[in-house]
Amino acid sequence: MSSRAKLAVAVALASAFMLAVLGAAGFVAGSGLEGQEQAVLAAVLERRLGAVLMIVFVACVFLFLLLRAAHEFLVLPPARAAEEAKAMLEEPATRLTAQGTQELQDLIAGVNRLAAQHEARDVEIEARIRAANAAAEADRNRFAVLMSELAQGVIVCNMDGRVLLYNRRARALFADAAGQGMAVLGLGRSIYGIFDRHLIAYALEDITGRRAAHRHFVAATGAGRLLRVLVAPIPEAGAPAGEGAGPDSGHGLSGYMTMIEDMTESFDSESTRDQLLQNLTESSRGPVGNLRAAAETLYDYADMSAEDHQRFLAVVRDEAAGLAGRVEAAARKYAAVLKSRWPLEEMLGSDLMTAARRRIADRCALQVSLEEVDAEVWIKVDGFSLLQAMTYFAARLHDEYQIRDLRLRLTRDGAMAHMDLIWSGVFMSTETVMQWELDPMTVAGESSPLTVRDIVERNGGEVWFQRDHAAYRAFFRFLLPTFSGQQAAPSGAATAMVDSRPEFYDFDLFKDDELGLALDDRLLAQLDYTVFDTETTGLEPSAGDEIIQIGAVRIVNRRLLRHEAYEQLIDPRRSLPLQSVKIHGITADMLAGQPPIAQVLPIFRAFVADTVLVAHNAAFDMRFLELKEAATGIRFDRPVLDTFLLSAALFPNQETHRLEAIAERLGVSVMGRHTAVGDAIVTAEVFLKMLPLLADKGIRTLGEARAASEKTYHARIKY
C-alpha cells in the first residue's frame, strides 16, 4: 500500500473514532435523563445542530491537517530515504538526502558515512581486481583488435544462429546504401537474416558427417555481392578443437564461425581477364595462320615474281600490324583490370619518401637524399605502384641522361601533397617527358603493362615536369590528395554514437537457456531491447503533429551497444513550429531532402525486430507510430516498457519522474538531451540501472514489469 493510501486510511479511521467517541458521549449524557429533560436537550440540540456539525467538521479538518503534517514529517521522509537507499545499492556514489526529524537526519548521516566507507572499500577491491585481470584484459584487447582488423568478415554464432561476434569487415559487407546494415547484422540477431538457413545447416551436416574442420559455400547478398563463406564448428567446452569434434566423436557443438570474403571484384576481374585471353586467342588464330602461310610461301618459293613477293610481304605486314594492335589493345584492357584492383592505403608521406630513397638507390645505383620532407603529411595511395613510377623515372634519367644524384622533397600546398624527384644539370623536352609517362614501365628487368599516367590517375593525382632555371634544376612533381592523419590513426576519443573501440562480441550469448519461454515469462535480464526516442513537431499526435527524428540503441545481455545505433531525420511534409525548434534544435533546412515517414518506418521496424521496445513516456512515442499504421502498413507489435512508469513503480513517493530526475537519482550522466539518439542513450542507461532494483522488488520477468507499470497512477495517461 502506498504512503498516500495509508494516510487516507489513517484519516478515515481517526475521523470514525472521533465520531464514535462523540456519539458515545452523547448517548451516555442522554441515557440518564427523564422525559422533560430529554425534550429540553432535544430542543437545544435542534437549535444548535448546525453549530455542532460545524464543530465536528472543523475537528475532522484539524485532525486531517494534523495527520497529514505528521505523515509529511514522520512517514514520507523514511519512505523516501528507503527508496534512495535502494537506488544507492545500484549507484554507490549517490547519497541519501537529509530530511525529517533530527533523529532521522542523524541516521541518514550515519548511513551516508557508512556508504562512503563501503564505496572506498569497493574502490580498493575494484582496483585489485583490475590489477589481477590486467593480463586477461590485454588478451581480450588483442583479440578485439585482431578481429577488428582482419581483411575477411568474421561472424560467430551459437547453434540457434544468434550472432555472438562480428568484426568491422563483416559490418561493412552487410551495410547497404539504404542504411539498413545494423538492422541486418548485430549482436543477438539471427544470421539467417543474412544467409539461407539451409546453406548453413548443410555445411554443418557435411562437417559433422565427414568429420571435417570446415566447409565452404558461395552466397549472394540482396545487393548482388558474391560472397565466399567458410563455416567452421566450435566444439563445446572440454571437446577437442579441430578435426574430429562433432556428434560422431561424442562431443557436441556450441556454435560455429563463418569467415566471409567478398569475391565480387576478384570474380569480375578474373572473368574479364579470362575473356581478354579468350578473345586474344580467337582473334589471333587467323592472323597467325595467315602469317605462317605467307612466311612458308616466301620460304618455299624464293624464285617467285617480284610482284608476288611484294604481295606476300604486304600480307605479312598487314597481319603483323593487326596482330600487334590486338595485343596492344588487350594489354591496355588488362592494365585497366590491374588498376581497378589496386588497394589504396593511408600512410605518412615521409614513410613513402624513405622507402623511395631506399628503392631507387638499390635498383638504379644512384645517390639519393632527402631535401625537405613534411612529417605531418598523410596520403591515401597505392604505395607500391607509386614507388614503381618514381623508380622508373629515376632509371630513365640514369640510363638516358647519366644523372647520378637525385633529391626527394615532400611539401604540402593546401589539400595537395607535392612529391618531387629533383636533379641538376640536364633538361629534356616536354615531348620526351610525355613519352616517358605513356610508355609501359620497365625497371631492372621487371616489366609492367602499366604507365606512369595510369598509376597517377588511379591514385587521384597528376604528374608535372618543371624547370627551375635560376637553380639550374628540374624535377618531376607528383601531386596527390592529402588525407587526414586523425582518420587514419584515431586518437581514441569517443563520440556520442560510437565507442573508440566498439565491442562487437558477447560470448555470454552462448548461454541461452530461456529461448523457448513465452516473452512474458522471460527474465528481464535475459531479453534484448531496443531503446528509442522521437523528436516531433509538437505534442499532439492526434492533431496533426509529425515525427521529425527517430533515434534508437540496442541492449543485448544487459549491455548497451552504442555502435549498433539507428538515427534518422524525417521530412514531416508540414511546417515546423518555432517553439519546437527551440526545444530540439532541428530546423526546416536540416529536414529538407530527408526521407518521409513512409520510407523510414520499414527500416526502423527491421531494426527493432525480435526485441522489446523501451522508451520514456512510451505512450507518447507509440501513439505517433500507431497513427501511421493505416497509411504505411507497418505495425509495431513488440512488447513495450516505459521507464516513466517503471520509475513510478520503483519510487512511488518521489515527486517527479522526469527523465532528468530519474537519471540524477540513479547516477546517470545526461548528455545530448532533446536529440533522439541522445535521449535514447540516457533512457537505456537509466533502464539498465533499474533492472537490479526491479529484481529486488520482486519484478523479475517481462510480464511482472508490465503488470507493475499498469498498476501505477500514471498509466492512465493517454495521447
Measured CA to CA in angstroms, residue 297 lies from 35, 183, 208, 291, 313 at distances of 163, 72, 67, 10, 10
Question: Of 118, 251, 616, 674, which is the active-site residue?
Answer: 674
Give yes or no for a contact between 363 and 466, defined as CB atoms under 8 angstroms apart. Answer: no
Instruction: State CA 658 to chain mean position distance.
Output: 28
Q: 87 CB contacts (<8 Å, ≥6 apart)?
A: 94, 651, 665, 666, 667, 689, 693
Q: 575 CB contacts (<8 Å, ≥6 apart)?
A: 537, 588
469 as an active site residue: the answer is no
Instruction: Look at strands 253-262 and 473-481 and give their pairing.
Output: unpaired
Distance CA 144, CA 165 (A): 10
Cell 637525385 -> residue: 406
* Cα 178-572-530 angle, rounded to 5 deg: 55
Q: Which of 91, 35, 148, 64 is nearest to 668 (CA)?
A: 91
Alpha helices in 151-260 (DSSP H): 168-173, 181-184, 197-210
Backbone angles phi, psi at 252, to 5 degrees: -90, 180
Cell 559455400 -> residue: 217
DSSP 269-301: HHHHHHHHHHHHHHHHHHHHHHHHHHHHHHHH-
Give yes or no for a contact between 144 and 501, defined as CB atoms under 8 angstroms apart. Answer: yes
Backbone angles phi, psi at 443, to 5 degrees: -135, 125
Instruction: State CA 374 to chain mean position distance.
Output: 35
Q: What share of the chain is helix, strand, coil (3-state, %, to 5)?
A: 55, 20, 30
Instruction: Look at strands 405-413 and 367-373 and give their pairing.
Output: parallel
DSSP 632-665: H-----S-EEEHHHHHHHH-TT-S---HHHHHHH
Distance CA 256, CA 156 (A): 6
* Per-residue cell: 384: 607500391
DSSP letter, residue 449: S
Distance CA 510, CA 240 (A): 18
Distance CA 131, CA 112 (A): 28
Classify burial at 591, counting beta carbons within 10 Å of its beta carbon; exposed 0-12, middle 13-18, buried 19 or more.
middle
* The total number of residues written for the chain in this structure: 719
Measured CA to CA in angstroms, residue 166 lies from 146, 189, 261, 639 at distances of 12, 11, 14, 27
SS3 77: helix
Distance CA 674, CA 584 (A): 5
Distance CA 60, CA 16 (A): 9
Classify burial at 307, counting beta carbons within 10 Å of its beta carbon; exposed 0-12, middle 13-18, buried 19 or more.
exposed
Half-sphere exposure of 105 (CA within 13 A, CB side): 6
Distance CA 670, CA 658 (A): 12
Give yes or no for a contact between 648 and 657, defined as CB atoms under 8 angstroms apart. Answer: yes
The C-alpha R_g of the chain, in whole angstroms, comes to 40
Active site residues: 674
